[in-house]
Amino acid sequence: MNLVLIVEDEAQIARAMQINLHAHGYQALTVGNGADALKAAARQPVDIVVLDLGLPDMDGVDVIRGIRGWSNMPIIVLSARHGSEDKVEALDAGADDYVTKPFGLDELLARLRAASRRAGPRDEVATLETADFVVDLAGKKIVKDGGEVRLTPTEWNILELLVRNAGRLVSQQQILTQVWGQAYAKETQYLRVYIAQLRRKLERDPSAPRHLHTEAGMGYRFDP
């Protein structure tokens, strides 16, 4: 039985969706704001997220980005925003589907079935602990020695990519294209500078890194 996380600030709509999904064999959990959505997605074994973009505390697109920082769980947007630019922004942020309000129950159920078929195995984690620091992928933060380590957006993007591929070699080209774009695929000097910065912030001994390893001429590997 799939667990659906419903993120909807209008209580009446959320309750109606929850009842209807239960009637069709789904488990459903409802939250009314973005912060609670990110916490629930990280703590619960959620299979699918059904997300309204117009939330009281943050834009739904930021919720999508937050979840995509650590998980590939299917995200279906349900929104009253009909503009193509809104759809493009949500899909580019990582949404799998976009349904405009009002919508029919049959359509929503069909979208849920399609999302379930596309979903891969659920083996993701929201946090990764090492002997020296904790990477909170859901919260997009690093905790070391009881305090938060400040990373720049670029440093975080590099670290996130390496952590999500922990134990595996990630090529220089893959990092450069995913973090900076295809035009920077050969700019390896950028990468060396940022890896050095990450080591200074995270490693006990940056000159003898325990977690951020260089594979000469090939790329980098993160070892927890």
Q: Which residues contact 13 (CB under 8 A, 6 or more apart)?
A: none
Residue 10 has pLDDT above 90, yes or no: yes
48 contacts 5 by C-beta, under 8 angstroms: yes
Encode pLDDT of 101-115 as tens digits: 888 999 999 999 998
pLDDT, position 21: 94
Listed ranges 154-158, 170-174, 193-197; the one with the highest mean pLDDT: 193-197
Residues, the chain:
224
- Band (pLDDT 50/70/90 cuts) for residue 119 is low
Average pLDDT, stretch 181-204? 89
Inter-helix orientation angle 188-202/153-164, to 10°: 90
Q: What is the pTM of this model?
A: 0.64
Whole-number Å distance between alpha carbons of 97 and 162: 27
